[in-house]
Structure 1
Amino acid sequence: MRIALPRSLLARNIALLVALVALAQICSLAVLLHFVQRPRIERAAVIFADYVTLLDDAVARMPPDEGRVVAARLHAQRETPPAPAPEPASLVNFFRTWQRDVFIADLQRHLPADMPLRWQAGSGQRLWIRLHISGEPAWMPMPLVPDAQGTGIATTLALSLLLAVLAALTGYLIQLHLNRPLADLARAARRVSAGETPPPLPTDGPTEIAQVSRAFNQMTEALQQAETTRALMLAGVSHDIRTPLTKLRLAIAMALPRGTNDALVASSEAYLDRIDTILQQFMDYAGSGEREPLQVGDLNTLSGQLVADFAGLGHEFDFEEGPIPPFPFRPVAVMRLLMNLMHNAVAYGQTGLAVRTWADESAAHVAVCDRGTGIRAAEMEKLKAPFSRGSNERTHSGGTGLGLAIVDRIARLHGGSLTFRDREGGGLEALVALPLDPPAVLPPNGRAS
């Protein structure tokens, strides 16, 4: 049988601390009972046995008349006392009965064989001892000595439990203090994985944690430098390539005047436009609108405008508009998101084009639908990775495989998501969810924390 251990370091350390404190308390209690309490009980039993023996000798020699008077005064009786009733089981009762049983056993060992003992529980706890009053056996009640009653053991147990709880609480607070920088490190790591740049972690804690914090700060700084270098490189590449492209356009226009070879000019300009489009897709993926500020806007208005624009190009989208309250989003980035999805629907779905919008308590939703048969929703999920292409890509050349990656990145920039599902009746639905309360931080990789 496998023992289920707590998952967190805090829970494991607290469980270990509690176990160690409990073990220490058990060992301390065992030492207290065996080496302190038992000798006290044994000494008390010897003294009490001597007292009872002297008392028995005194009352045994009394004349019958005096013996009856003494027996009445001491509440002695001829009948054997009833057997003690069982006591409820508890920790305090265990130690009290243990001390009492040890005392009675030691007392019986030091008394003569013809002087049996009987314990009477209840409100008036008494120890019955059979003495010989005027030579006749009689049971005489005697109060139990404090060493045998265990009156202080309950206080000792309560104090031990209090100290154990105090030790566990102190350990818990110490562990919380140690876990706080670890929790800060975990939050900072999540922010880094989301593309943010967290503030440097403090390095004034314990040595081991301080070393981890310093290493994490160095890693964060290196990632930030790499991100800056990447942005500069992409900007430089875009500038350095677009400049000769512009010159090449001018050279073609000057070398081939209009009317001399229009087919060659159109073909050359188409290739140049494709190169420019590819460059723009790379820049869009690198940026994806993270520098654009949030603005409260109407998603239905933006969607309807795009539906009208595509209709002007000959691509009719059915628009099913649901109620969506105004909420903050980046209009240019969201427009690029919808345009990419609608362009994909036109290019790969071709028929049954539709756009639906609605909202729930936490997010606004947009669905771009088509009736295409070339690709399934499960495969579309894989195409969200950069430079991924579907099985029908061979019929549509010129792309970079960044279209859906850009859409996914913009959705995550807003704290939302992009998913796909097979459309009822055939086709595909691209579903975008944008939170009505998006994160204000602009992570460079488009992931919201």
Structure 2
Amino acid sequence: MKLFARLIPASLFGRALLTLVFTFGLFGLITFWVIVSYALAPVAQRSASDLASIMVLSARTLRQLPAEMRDDYRTRLAREYQIRLAEERPLTDVNHFFFPYIGQLKRALGDRLGGEVEIVTSVANSERWFWVALDAGGDTVWAGFPRSRVETRPIEGLSVIIGVAVLLIVGSAVILAGRVTQPLNRLSKAAEQVALGYSPAVLSESGPKELANLARQFNATSRRIRELIANRTLLLAGISHDLRTPLTRLRLALEMLPRGTAPALVARMERDIEEMNALITQAIDFGKSLETGNREEIELAALIDDLVAGRPRVIWQRTRPCRYRVDALALRRILTNLLENALRYSQDLVEIHLDCKMATPVIYVLDRGPGIPEAEREAVFRPYYRLETSRSRLTGGTGLGLAVAYQLALSNQMELHLDTRRGGGTAASVRLPPLELEIARGPSNGTAVDAPSAGA
């Protein structure tokens, strides 16, 4: 049963093709059996019966004719019916020869002669002849006919029929299966784009009623999702703008306080205002993270140089020049969020490596922090999700840094991976998109890894 299950194709196209080929093939076999049983076999039996009657009648007629008329009779019989009559046994061929028609002829002759007959073969002028001994009034007469008289070439005909049938069956099955699976494949790719946060192209709503209705419903759903995302972005931008206005007034009020007024309280309020402004900025970034920017060719090492400037806890050894076409603003924001996250949770040094040897460059951000459990590696990309649940700003960030980085990576066809670093900590990697890539993949939950050496 397991072996049978392995033979079943995994794809819908393969299963539909297998079903259609099996159905058409079975129908072809049944049709062939019906034609042979109810058309070809009766015709062959009638032909064998007629030939047996002619042979028996010819042999008996020969014995009844005067001697001077027998040669003329043999000549006419050979010319008109391709049957020869001989009074002596011909030289037979000992080689066995399979010819289904001969079996039917033997049965027909046996019915007329009242016993089993033997048919022997001979070869004359490179042509095979079949001979049978017939009793003609007490004498034995050998009647023979060439194979060409009854040959129909069934093997060649059957081969042509089977070949044409196989081509028609497989061709029809491929066309029918393709008409069903191709729209579903397009729908699957479009659904994958929606799942990754993109706006897919509008699907064609033509074709069979069921598939057209499915495409129509998908297009409507995709359109509603785009509207929801646009409304969310607009809402976040509006709320952020409305919040910054009173924060600005609070800052001005603090600036206008007399000097020496509760310095500790003023300092704490200023920190709260800065944190709220940072939170608003991240909320705006998250709302805009699905927007795709323009790609331009940049020097990746120079971009990283600018990022690590003024960060003494970051180790970065410049590699050979590595130019690549990418959305520089999105990549800068992604790496900034990863660096800030690594510096926040790791008391040790944070390393950055650039691997430019592969077809698509990969940038690694490595820390020696507590790490991220494998079960949480997808959850940390959700907005406002924090591994530390106290919600205290002293023990964690806002929960938007990785969410913004992940959404930016998706919308720009990059791959953001979080893995366990050898020796402890987290290894975050950003794989830049191939120039021909259209659909990005989600995060991976791999095993312990480390980046290549800094000089890679």
State the TM-score, normalizing by the size of structure 2. Answer: 0.80
8 Å contact from structure 1 (residues 353, 370) kept in 2: yes
Structure 1 residues 34 and 121, CA gap change in structure 2 (3 angstroms): farther
Q: 1:222 aligned to 2:224? A: yes
Three-state SS of the structure 2 residue aligned to 1:46 is helix
Question: Which residue is 1:269 aligned to?
Answer: 270
**C-alpha separation in 2, matches of 1:370 and 1:142:** 96
> Alpha carbon RMSD of aligned pairs, Å?
3.7
**C-alpha separation in 2, matches of 1:177 and 1:402:** 45
Question: Which residue is 1:278 aligned to?
Answer: 279
Structure 1 residues 377 and 31, CA gap change in structure 2 (3 angstroms): closer
Q: 1:287 aligned to 2:288? A: yes
Report the CA distance between 1:197 and its aligned residue. Answer: 2.0
Q: 1:405 aligned to 2:403? A: yes
Q: Alignment partner for residue 57 of structure 2, among 49, 54, 57?
A: 54
Three-state SS of the structure 1 residue aligned to 2:293 is coil
8 Å contact from structure 1 (residues 45, 106) kept in 2: yes
Q: 1:381 aligned to 2:353? A: no
**C-alpha separation in 2, matches of 1:191 and 1:392:** 32
Aligned residues: 428
Three-state SS of the structure 2 residue aligned to 1:435 is coil
User: What letter corresponds to residue 96 of structure 2 in structure 1?
Assistant: A
Question: Which residue is 1:431 aligned to?
Answer: 429
Q: 1:301 aligned to 2:299? A: no
Report the CA distance between 1:273 and its aligned residue. Answer: 1.0
**C-alpha separation in 2, matches of 1:290 and 1:24:** 56
Q: Alignment partner for residue 21 of structure 1, among 7, 21, 24?
A: 24
Structure 1 residues 135 and 173, CA gap change in structure 2 (3 angstroms): same
Report the CA distance between 1:280 and its aligned residue. Answer: 1.5
8 Å contact from structure 1 (residues 85, 121) kept in 2: no
Question: Which residue is 1:331 aligned to?
Answer: 328
Structure 1 residues 359 and 144, CA gap change in structure 2 (3 angstroms): same
Report the CA distance between 1:385 and its aligned residue. Answer: 3.2
Question: Which residue is 1:90 aligned to?
Answer: none
Note the 1:149-228 alignment, pairs <5 A.
149-151=151-153, 154-155=156-157, 158-159=160-161, 161-163=163-165, 165-228=167-230
**C-alpha separation in 2, matches of 1:360 and 1:76:** 94
Q: Alignment partner for residue 248 of structure 2, among 246, 257, 278?
A: 246
**C-alpha separation in 2, matches of 1:160 and 1:423:** 61
8 Å contact from structure 2 (residues 85, 144) kept in 1: yes
Q: Alignment partner for residue 36 of structure 1, among 34, 39, 54?
A: 39
Structure 1 residues 162 and 221, CA gap change in structure 2 (3 angstroms): same
Question: Which residue is 2:449 aligned to?
Answer: none
Three-state SS of the structure 2 residue aligned to 1:150 is coil
**C-alpha separation in 2, matches of 1:175 and 1:378:** 41
Structure 1 residues 381 and 258, CA gap change in structure 2 (3 angstroms): same
**C-alpha separation in 2, matches of 1:121 and 1:108:** 24
Higher alpha-carbon deviation: 187-196 or 157-166: 157-166
Structure 1 residues 197 and 266, CA gap change in structure 2 (3 angstroms): same
8 Å contact from structure 2 (residues 127, 147) kept in 1: no
**C-alpha separation in 1, matches of 2:117 and 2:66:** 20
8 Å contact from structure 2 (residues 350, 365) kept in 1: yes
User: What letter corresponds to residue 413 of structure 1 in structure 2?
Assistant: S
Three-state SS of the structure 2 residue aligned to 1:211 is helix
Deviation per residue, 1:179-219 (Å, 9 max, x gap): 44333322322222222223332223221112112111211
8 Å contact from structure 2 (residues 93, 123) kept in 1: no
State the TM-score, normalizing by the size of structure 1. Answer: 0.81
Report the CA distance between 1:402 and its aligned residue. Answer: 1.7
Structure 1 residues 425 and 164, CA gap change in structure 2 (3 angstroms): closer
**C-alpha separation in 2, matches of 1:249 and 1:446:** 41
Residue segments in structure 1 that go unaligned for 5+ positions in a row? 88-96
Structure 1 residues 429 and 183, CA gap change in structure 2 (3 angstroms): closer
Q: Alignment partner for residue 126 of structure 1, among 124, 129, 140?
A: 129
User: What letter corresponds to residue 192 of structure 2 in structure 1?
Assistant: R
User: What letter corresponds to residue 378 of structure 1 in structure 2?
Assistant: E
Structure 1 residues 76 and 186, CA gap change in structure 2 (3 angstroms): farther
Residue segments in structure 2 that go unaligned for 5+ positions in a row? 75-83, 444-456
Deviation per residue, 1:267-301 (Å, 9 max, x gap): 11111111111121222222237353222111111
Structure showing greater relative contact order (alpha-carbon pairs closer than 8 Å, 6 or more residues apart): 1
User: What letter corresponds to residue 104 of structure 2 in structure 1?
Assistant: V
Structure 1 residues 144 and 166, CA gap change in structure 2 (3 angstroms): same
Q: 1:85 aligned to 2:96? A: yes
Structure 1 residues 37 and 306, CA gap change in structure 2 (3 angstroms): closer
8 Å contact from structure 1 (residues 67, 133) kept in 2: no
Report the CA distance between 1:145 and its aligned residue. Answer: 7.1
Question: Which residue is 1:354 aligned to?
Answer: 351
Three-state SS of the structure 2 residue aligned to 1:118 is strand
**C-alpha separation in 2, matches of 1:121 and 1:29:** 34
Structure 1 residues 160 and 232, CA gap change in structure 2 (3 angstroms): same
Higher alpha-carbon deviation: 258-267 or 194-203: 194-203
Structure 1 residues 83 and 294, CA gap change in structure 2 (3 angstroms): same
Higher alpha-carbon deviation: 377-386 or 355-364: 377-386
